[in-house]
Amino acid sequence: MSEPSVDLVKQYLMGLQNRICTAIEAEETEGSFREDQWDYHGGGGGKARVLEGGKIFEKAGVNFSHVKGDQLPASATAHRPQMAGRSFQAMGVSLVIHPDNPFVPTSHANVRMLIAHKEGEDPIWWFGGGYDLTPYYGFEEDCKHWHQTAKKACEPFGDEVYPRYKKWCDDYFFLKHRNEPRGVGGLFYDDLNEWPFERCFEFMQSVGNSYIDAYLPIVQRRKEISYSEQNKRFQEYRRGRYVEFNLVYDRGTLFGLQSGGRTESILMSLPPHVRWDYNWNPEQGTEEARLYEEFLKPKDWV
C-alpha cells in the first residue's frame, strides 16, 4: 500500500476552502466571509469562514481544520477499537449553506482524512465525507441534478460506488426519533481505505471538487422566487430537523466536541433562525405536504 501524505491532503483542503468561498461570494450580492483562525490544544488548528446576513445566503460556514492529539475521542474509536491508544491527526473541510429564500435548499458537504500512529506499527488512515441536500420545497429537477453530479463524481471509481454511497447517505442522514430523512440525500462514505492512498485521495478530490457544480445551479434557479411569511415559517420549522440531526447523530459534530475542538467552528453549521411548533402537520394538498409525500423518502433520482 502506498504511503499516506498528510501534506498533500492538507494543501488540497486549504485550496478547496478557498475555491468554495470564492464561488459562494461571487453569488452573494450583500455579504462576504469573515475569517477566524484558531489553535487546537493538542496541536494544529484551523480557519473558520462565516458569511451572515447576505441577500442570498442567510448563513454560510466553510471550515478548514487540521488538529492533532495524543488520543482519539470515543466517537472515533467506538467502531474502530484498533485506533485506541494512538496519536492522531484529523483534517478536513466542512461546510453548511443556509440560504435566505425557502425555495433554495440547505446544503452540506464534508471531506476529511484521519491518520493514527503508534510506535512500531504502521499508521492507520482513512478518508470520509460526502454531501447532502435538504430542500424545504421540492423540485424534481433540482434533485436529479444534485444526484447526477454526485454520480458523475463517482463514475471513474467504479459502477458500484455511487449506489453504495448514495444508500449510505440515505441511511446516515435519517432522524430515527422522527422516522424521517433529513433531506434528499447525496453521497456519504466513511472509513475509506480499501484502495491505495492515492486512489482514496483522488476520490476525496472528485467529491470535493464536484460540490459547487452540484449546488450553485440550484441556487441560481431558485433564488429569485418570491415567497411568503408562511414559506419562511415552514423553512424555519424544517430547519429544526437539521439542528436535531447535527446535535444528536452527526459524527463530525460529536468528534469535534468530544476531542475538545473549537465550539464556535463546530456549531457554525446551525441555522440562525429556527422554530419548533408543537405537533404540527402540513395540510393535505399543500406544497409542504408534498415535501413529505414525494421528497422525504429515499428514491432513485438518476
Cell of 297: 423518502
Q: Is residue 94 marked as binding?
A: yes
Do the annotations mark residue 262 as ligand-binding?
A: yes
CB atoms inside a 10 Å sphere around CB 272: 12
SS (H, E, C) 183-229: CCEEEEEEEECCCCHHHHHHHHHHHHHHHHHHHHHHHHHHCCCCCCH
| Residue 271: C-alpha distances to residues 4, 32, 50, 206, 239 (Å) | 36, 17, 12, 28, 7
CA dist list (Å): 149 to 132, 232, 254: 12, 28, 29
Please, which residues have CB within 8 angstroms of residue 216's CB and are 6 or more apart in sequence?
A: 23, 27
161 among annotated binding-site residues: no
Residue 164: helix, strand or coil by DSSP? helix
9 phi/psi in degrees, rounded to 5 = -65, -45
Q: What single letter denotes the amino acid at residue 203?
A: F
111 is in an annotated binding site: yes
Does the annotation list 221 as a binding residue? Answer: no
Instruction: Tell me the C-alpha distance between 273 and 137, whole Å.
Output: 18
Known binder of ligand: residue 32?
no
* Residues forming the active site: 108
Known binding residue 18? Answer is no
Binding positions for substrate: 94, 110-112, 260-262
Binding positions: 94, 98, 108, 110-112, 147, 177, 260-262
Binding positions for a divalent metal cation: 98, 108, 147, 177
